[in-house]
Amino acid sequence: MDKPKYSPEYAKYLANKKKKKHFIFAWQVGILVAFIALWEILARLGILNTFLFSSPLAIWKLFLTYLKDGSLFGHIGISVWETILGFGIGTVLGILIAIILWWSDTVAKILSPTLVVLNALPKTALAPIIIVWAGAGIGGIVVTAITISIVTTILSAYNYFSLMDEEKIKMLKSFGASKWQILTRLILPANIGNMVNIVKINIGLAWVGVIVGEFLVSRYGLGYLIVYGGQVFRLDLVMMGVVVLAICAFAMYAVVNLVEKQITKKKGTK
């Protein structure tokens, strides 16, 4: 006779954990549905000015219109591609620079004041200058997204690398490990979870850069839809753009979450 996979106590714990997860998800969906329903009711009763706030039904109808003529897919595709490029390049470059700073204390001390100043600068306010330097179009928008995310990545990654347990580093050095081996065998593997968190943060930062860039120079993308809707006083178009933007950002965040779960699962099986 096969033995049970888990003890009764642990099986009960897993069942309660799953139940709590479903309970939280039900509340999240319920709050969202209640918010949309209340918004629609207040709009129909005239309590909310539909010119200023639109309504869920009007946004849905406009969404279907843009969906049918196929133009929405083009706007979404351009914005998502710009965001992927922005946070991908910004994350990789930021981590590489953080590795250089970790590798050389001298370089870290030289660049530390510069990074602090760059982090304090309002990058969105500098977006027009960045776009003039990098050029209008996708290139300038992507550079804006990179600029917003890269400094945060450098500071966060360098902080994670620097906080590594010194005793583990000393132990590896005592066995004759080189700096490259310490980096590849200890620092990077131990910070995979932290780097996934950096990617999550960079998704939001990259979206900010892309939308700001599209506000300024683009003729396509979700940012263009939002700013165009504001210019012609079509708040339903503005709200639709914001809703689609939120869905796209959430979808990218969900993909990163799935990757994180796979990494955690692999670590658990080792």
Instruction: For residues 93-111, give the mean pLDDT.
Output: 91
Give the pLDDT confidence score for residue 1 in this predicted structure. Answer: 45
Give the pLDDT confidence score for residue 270 in this predicted structure. Answer: 55
Task: Give the Cα separation of 103 and 169 in Å (integer).
Answer: 13
CATH class entry, domain 56-269? mainly alpha
Q: How big is the chain, counted in residues?
A: 270
Q: What is the pLDDT of residues 181-223, one digit of tens each?
A: 888 888 888 888 888 888 888 898 899 889 988 888 878 888 8
CB 226 within 8 A of CB 211: yes
Maximum average pLDDT range among 46-50, 239-243, 258-262: 239-243
Identity at 7, one-letter amino acid code:
S
Number of neighbouring beta carbons within 10 Å of residue 192: 14
Q: How far is CA 70 from the centre of its chain?
A: 26
For residue 127, what pLDDT band results from cuts at 50, 70 and 90?
confident
Task: Give the Cα separation of 107 and 43 in Å (integer).
Answer: 58
Instruction: For residues 112-141, give the mean pLDDT.
Output: 82
Token duo for residue 107: 């370089």
Identity at 240, one-letter amino acid code:
M
Instruction: For residues 125-130, give the mean pLDDT.
Output: 81
Instruction: For residues 82-91, give the mean pLDDT.
Output: 92
Give the pLDDT confidence score for residue 122 in this predicted structure. Answer: 80
Query: What's the whole-model pTM score?
Result: 0.81
Task: Give the Cα separation of 75 and 222 in Å (integer).
Answer: 6
Give the pLDDT confidence score for residue 4 in this predicted structure. Answer: 55
Looking at residue 164, the DSSP 8-state letter turns out to be: S
Q: Which residues contact 20 (CB under 8 A, 6 or more apart)?
A: none
Give the pLDDT confidence score for residue 94 in this predicted structure. Answer: 93
Task: Give the Cα separation of 129 and 123 in Å (integer).
Answer: 10
